[in-house]
Amino acid sequence: MRLTWLLVPLLVLSGCTAAALPPESPSAPTSSGTASSPAPVAPARIGLSYIPNVQFAPFYLAEADGGFAAGTGTPATLRHHGAQEGLFTAIAAGQEDFVLAGADEMLQARESGADLVAVATYYRQYPVQLIVPDAGDITSLADLRGKRIGVPGRFGSSWFALLVALHTAGLTTDDVDVVEIGYTQRAALATGNVDAVIGFTNNDLVQFQLAGVAVRALPIADGTPPLVGASLVTTRAYLAANPELVRGVAEAMVDGINAAAQDPDRALAVTQTQVPGLSGEALEAARATLTATLAIMTDSQGRTDGRLDLDAWQAMAAFMLDAGLLTAPADVAAATAPEVLP
C-alpha cells in the first residue's frame, strides 16, 4: 500500500535486503565479582515516509509522552524520509530499524529478497477507494466498463486497489482505460480528464471535500478488501536481536493511536510542534485529515490493539499471487510476527 500524507501521497519504492544490528551480549563480571551495568541499548530508528505530517500524529504523541525517551526500555528516534527516498531504502542500508509501510508493498519487497517482517498494524482498514463525480453515471463498480480511470501509475496501493475493484466487478484492465495521472487526482477528475480516480479516504477524498468538489467514494470490494494497509515493519534479524525493544516500539505506537483518538485536539497541538506553519486553513485541513485517518486506524469504540490479522494477510497474499503482483506464494508466517503483540 502506498502511504499518503499531508494531502499529497507518499513516494514509496521497493526495497532490498535490510541490515540489522548485532545481538547484544550479556555483560561479563568484573574482577571484583560484581556484574557491570548492561551496555545502553542503541535507540531504535523509526522511518516515517515523506515529510512531517498529521498522519504521523500517533508517533509524535508517543515521543511527547516519553514512550521513546532515552533511559527507558524503548529508546527510539523518528526519521522522516523526504520526498525522494524509497520506502525500504534506509532500512535496507541499515539507516533505520523500523519503517511504516504498506503490507502489500512489503510482500513485494520480500519477494525481491528484503529481510522484512510486520510486527503491528497501523491502519485497521485499507484506506483506498474509487472516487467519482457525485453527478456522474458511475454508481457501482460494474459501471466502470469503458471508463477512464486515473491512477498515479501501475504500482503501489492505488494500482493494487484498482485491480481489486475490477476483480470485484468481474472486469479486467482490458475493459477500462487506465490513465496514469501521477498525483493529480483532484485536477484530473475535476477537469474531466478521467471518469474516476483511485484515491485514499484520508488524503484524496479529504482534498476533494475541502475544495468543495462534489464526489462519491465507492468501496473497492464487497466486504473487506483482500489487501492490508500500513504496518509497522522491522527486519527478522533486528527482531531476533531486540525482541523487547521491538515490542516496546509497537506498544508505544498503539498507545499513540489510542491517545490521538481520545484527544484529537492534543494530537493536533503536538503535531504543530513537528510541522512548520501548521495554522489557519492548513490546521483545519490537518484536522480533517486526522479525523479521516483515525477512522481507519480504530474500531467503532475508537480503539486499536495493533495486532496483526493473519487471515487478512493470507487473503492478501492469495490475491496478489492471483493478480500477478507476486510470482510465487508469499510465506505469510515469515512475513509476520504476531507474537510481538499477542
Please tell me whether residues 245 and 96 are part of one structural domain.
yes
Whether residue 329 sits in one domain with residue 247: yes
CATH of the domain at 166: 3.40.190.10
H helices present in 128-235, as ranges: 156-169, 185-190, 204-210
Give the pLDDT band (50/70/90) at residue 115: very high
119 and 241 belong to one structural domain: yes
* Residue 4, pLDDT above cutoff 90: no
Domain boundary among 167, 198, 218: 218
Do residue 77 and residue 133 come from a single domain? no
pLDDT single digits (tens) 200-248: 999 999 999 999 999 999 999 999 999 999 999 999 999 999 999 999 9
Mean pLDDT of the chain: 89
Same domain flag for 309 and 168: no
DSSP codes of every residue in 106-158: HHHHHHTT---EEEEES-SS--EEEEEETTSS--SGGGGTT-EEEES-SSHHH
Identify whether residues 335 and 232 lie together within a single domain. yes
35 belongs to a structural domain = no
How much is the average pLDDT of 13-41?
Answer: 40
Q: What pLDDT score was predicted for residue 41?
A: 76
The verdict on residue 30 lying in a domain is no
* Sole residue written with cell 471518469: 195
Are both 92 and 207 inside the same structural domain? no
Domains held by the chain: number: 2
Residues 200 and 255 in one domain: no
Q: Residue 194's pLDDT band (boundaries 50, 70, 90)?
A: very high
Provide the 10 A C-beta neighbour count for residue 333.
11
Task: Please give the pLDDT value at position 39.
Answer: 59
Residue 311 DSSP code: H
Distance CA 337, CA 206 (A): 33
Q: Which of 133, 118, 49, 40 is nearest to 87 (CA)?
A: 49
Residue 190 lies in a domain: yes
For residue 74, is it within any domain?
yes
- Domain check: are 255 and 111 in the same one? yes
Q: Choose between 10 and 257: higher pLDDT.
A: 257
Q: What pLDDT digit, counting tens, does each position of 311-325 carry?
A: 999 999 999 999 999
The verdict on residue 31 lying in a domain is: no
Residues 336 and 241 in one domain: yes
State pLDDT tens for residues 53-67.
Answer: 999 999 999 999 999
Cβ-based burial of 140 (10 A; exposed 0-12, middle 13-18, buried ≥19): exposed
User: 18 and 102 share a domain?
Assistant: yes
32 is a domain residue: no
Q: Which domain holds residue 260?
A: 4-25+42-125+228-340
Residues 255 and 308 in one domain: yes
The domain boundary, picked from 161, 190, 218, lies at 218
Write down which residue in 159, 190, 218 finishes a domain: 218
Asked, for residue 223, whether it belongs to a domain, the answer is no
Q: Is 37 among the domain residues?
A: no
